[in-house]
A and B are shown apart, each in its own frame.
Chain A
Amino acid sequence: MTSSLAQARADFPILQTCVNGRRLVYLDSAASAQKPRAVLDAMTAFYEHDYANIHRGAYDLSLRATDLYEGARAKVQAFLGAEAPEEIVFTKGATEAINLVASSWGLTHLKSGDEILLTTLEHHANIVPWQLIRERTGITLRVVPITPEGDVRGEDVCAAMTPRTRLVALAHVSNVLGTVLPVREVAALAHAQGALVLVDGCQAVAHVPVNVRDLGADFYVFSGHKIYGPTGIGVLYARCDVLEAMPPYQGGGDMVERVTWEKTTFKAPPARFEAGTPPIAEAIGLAAALDYVQGFGFDILTPHDQALVRLAHERLTAIPGVRLFGTAAHKAAVVSFGLDGVHPHDLATVLDSEGVAIRAGHHCAQPLMQVLGVPATARASFALTTTEDDIAALESAVRKAKDLFA
């Protein structure tokens, strides 16, 4: 571990707090990551010194706010390796980003009999929007199965693809199993069939380097709060030509050129998709979060996560009765598990009493739970602040739960 990562914990005010008299061991970053001081400071500084609405005022303050907001867009563009800032649409989160694509692109380009390919391990946010579109268009949703290890194989994607496949929508990293999906391979297969690719990058952006052009993603979405940024801000990346061919998702101020009672014309992307006053401070907070993450770099972050996953697998499987969910060769910072005879919720309650915060439940992936054959799992997920001591605390708390329920 590098010295800079070793001190990262000190950057997070909330991690200085105690739970039940113990050091907080926060292992739920996959649900939402904690915020470093740099993000909180950037947002406070904006409100204290530069706040005004954007794209409107003919005064200096509004200009400064606009520059900061558009600067955040440029930062996201660079972070994702997009070609132009116009390819970055700010949304309130990944969920809204997928709904935007489903409504705007989906209702324009999909008709009855067309197919969308999803995978078994998708989050509800990448299932339900497509079901809503299915009701309105008569499209078919096809599901690519996963291997027992929790991996998605190119051949299974091939097998599920048909000439009617218009879109393959998949997670970059599974929020339950931690699998890093073979997005580049899937994108190549999809493009060969003339289908587009939407990637849900929520669990990826804080853990693996992302380059949308290299991946071949036509759409890439993520939420700011999972990469140490604030809630209420998310990103939709889409190629310029794809965005150009999409109608507005919501109507309102700032997305129009000229409004008359007879006819309204719309701005070009990304403004076309950002009706109303956007989450300005949140975009600025997100930019600070991306700076913070890039200050370490994925050359450090990815191996750090992988070492933690290996260690957690080792420590947890050393406990009799522990079963891991998701053992793919290529995993990011998520470890799901169960303990024989102990419901995940009881496990989480016992862990909480030890200051160890994990998630227990279906993780908004109920179809995956059915395939796993369990109502819920316990999930530990890691951040750049997570240490080997945290994994030791996890192990010791799981052993305690085992003793209690033995």
Chain B
Amino acid sequence: MTPSDDLRDLYQDLVLDHSRTPRNFRTLENANRHAEGDNPLCGDRVALFLRLGDDGRIEDVAFQGQGCAISTASSSILTTLIKGKTPEDAEQLVRYVQAKCSTRPGAPEPSPPFALSSEEATRLEALAGVRAYPMRVKCATLAWHALRRALAEKVGPSA
């Protein structure tokens, strides 16, 4: 049995890889930002931990939680993309990912807010396979919403 091509747009090898072996799936010592994403409809839950350095950049990031393949892969991909970014860049990336995951067929592709490496672009492209599955867009954006909340948090040593 081979999965249909459509389904492979959603569950690309890269997505499956990140869901099976999520990166930065751990707790974070000295996290100074934290937010949880919760999708009660399907029971997806993600806890995102950030450490902002003295220069204000995201020094480290990790996540915990349980969820479907899409939400787990999305959280994992997120952690690989935002390390070293300023909160402002991360915020722009959130908007870009949201737009990219919900671009309708035939609509113009959103442009990235800043130059992405080809690997970064590939990871986001894989995640954007969700756009053909409107019921699953929330799974893909859950961690990104949490990131936005974590960055907006006004508590913690770096606040």
Q: Report the nearest A residue to B1, measured CB to CB.
A: A400
Q: Is B99 an interface residue (CB 8 A)?
A: no
Pair A375/B66 contact, Cβ less than 8 Å: yes
Residues in A303-343 with C-beta less than 8 Å from chain B: 342-343
The distance in angstroms between the C-alpha atoms of A346 and B1, with both chains bound, is 17
The distance in angstroms between the C-alpha atoms of A20 and B66, with both chains bound, is 30
Pair A375/B42 contact, Cβ less than 8 Å: yes
Q: Is A376 an interface residue (CB 8 A)?
A: yes
Pair B43/A362 contact, Cβ less than 8 Å: yes
Q: Is A5 an interface residue (CB 8 A)?
A: no
Q: How far is the CB of B107 from chain A (nearest CB, A)?
A: 23
Pair A346/B3 contact, Cβ less than 8 Å: no
Q: How far is the CB of B128 from chain A (nearest CB, A)?
A: 16
Check A343/B41 contact, CB under 8 A, given A20-B4, A403-B1.
Answer: no
Pair B3/A343 contact, Cβ less than 8 Å: no
Check A349/B43 contact, CB under 8 A, given A403-B1, A405-B69.
Answer: no
Q: Is A369 an interface residue (CB 8 A)?
A: yes
Q: Is B159 an interface residue (CB 8 A)?
A: no
Pair B42/A361 contact, Cβ less than 8 Å: yes
Check A346/B6 contact, CB under 8 A, given A362-B43, A375-B42.
Answer: no
Pair B45/A399 contact, Cβ less than 8 Å: no
Q: Report the nearest B residue to A366, measured CB to CB.
A: B40
The distance in angstroms between the C-alpha atoms of A122 and B131, with both chains bound, is 35
Pair A399/B42 contact, Cβ less than 8 Å: no
Pair B41/A375 contact, Cβ less than 8 Å: no
Q: A376: which B residues are within 8 A, CB to CB?
A: 42-43
Q: How far is the CB of A56 from chain B (nearest CB, A)?
A: 42
Pair B3/A361 contact, Cβ less than 8 Å: no
Chain A interface, number of residues (Cβ within 8 angstroms): 23
Q: Is A192 an interface residue (CB 8 A)?
A: no
Q: Is B121 an interface residue (CB 8 A)?
A: no
Q: Report the nearest B residue to A402, measured CB to CB.
A: B1
Q: A369: which B residues are within 8 A, CB to CB?
A: 43
Pair A361/B43 contact, Cβ less than 8 Å: yes
Pair B69/A343 contact, Cβ less than 8 Å: yes
Pair B139/A404 contact, Cβ less than 8 Å: no
Q: B45: which A residues are within 8 A, CB to CB?
A: 375
Q: Is B31 an interface residue (CB 8 A)?
A: no
Q: Is A184 an interface residue (CB 8 A)?
A: no
Residues in B105-141 with C-beta less than 8 Å from chain A: 133, 135-136, 139
Q: B3: which A residues are within 8 A, CB to CB?
A: 350, 353, 400, 403-404
Pair B133/A349 contact, Cβ less than 8 Å: yes
Pair A345/B42 contact, Cβ less than 8 Å: yes
Q: How far is the CB of B3 from chain A (nearest CB, A)?
A: 5
Scoring A375, A399, A403 by chain B CB atoms within 10 A of each residue's CB, the highest score goes to: A375
Partner of A399, one of B1, B43, B68, B69: B1
Q: Report the nearest B residue to A376, measured CB to CB.
A: B43
Pair B70/A346 contact, Cβ less than 8 Å: yes
The distance in angstroms between the C-alpha atoms of A360 and B45, with both chains bound, is 16
Pair B42/A404 contact, Cβ less than 8 Å: no
Q: How far is the CB of A127 from chain B (nearest CB, A)?
A: 15
Q: How far is the CB of B63 from chain A (nearest CB, A)?
A: 16
Pair A345/B68 contact, Cβ less than 8 Å: yes
Partner of B6, one of A345, A353, A362, A399: A353
Q: Report the nearest A residue to B4, measured CB to CB.
A: A353
Q: How far is the CB of B139 from chain A (nearest CB, A)?
A: 7
Q: How far is the CB of A323 from chain B (nearest CB, A)?
A: 16
Residues in A381-397 with C-beta less than 8 Å from chain B: 396
Q: Is A229 an interface residue (CB 8 A)?
A: no
Pair B11/A345 contact, Cβ less than 8 Å: no
Partner of B67, one of A20, A342, A343: A343
Residues in B25-68 with C-beta less than 8 Å from chain A: 40-45, 66-68
Q: Is B7 an interface residue (CB 8 A)?
A: yes
Q: Is A344 an interface residue (CB 8 A)?
A: yes
Q: Report the nearest A residue to B3, measured CB to CB.
A: A404
Check A349/B44 contact, CB under 8 A, given A20-B4, A343-B68, A405-B16.
Answer: no
The distance in angstroms between the C-alpha atoms of A350 and B67, with both chains bound, is 16
The distance in angstroms between the C-alpha atoms of A400 and B6, with both chains bound, is 14
- List, sorted by A's number, 15 A–B pairs whose CB atoms are closer than 8 Å: A343-B42, A345-B68, A345-B136, A346-B11, A346-B68, A346-B69, A346-B70, A349-B136, A350-B7, A353-B4, A361-B41, A375-B66, A400-B1, A403-B3, A404-B3
Report A's interface with B, CB cutoff 8 A: 20, 342-346, 349-350, 353, 360-362, 366, 369, 374-376, 396, 399-400, 403-405
Report B's interface with A, CB cutoff 8 A: 1, 3-4, 6-7, 10-11, 16, 40-45, 66-70, 133, 135-136, 139
Ranked nearest first, the 4 interchain pairs of A and B with the lowest CB-CB distance are: A375-B43, A343-B68, A345-B68, A376-B43
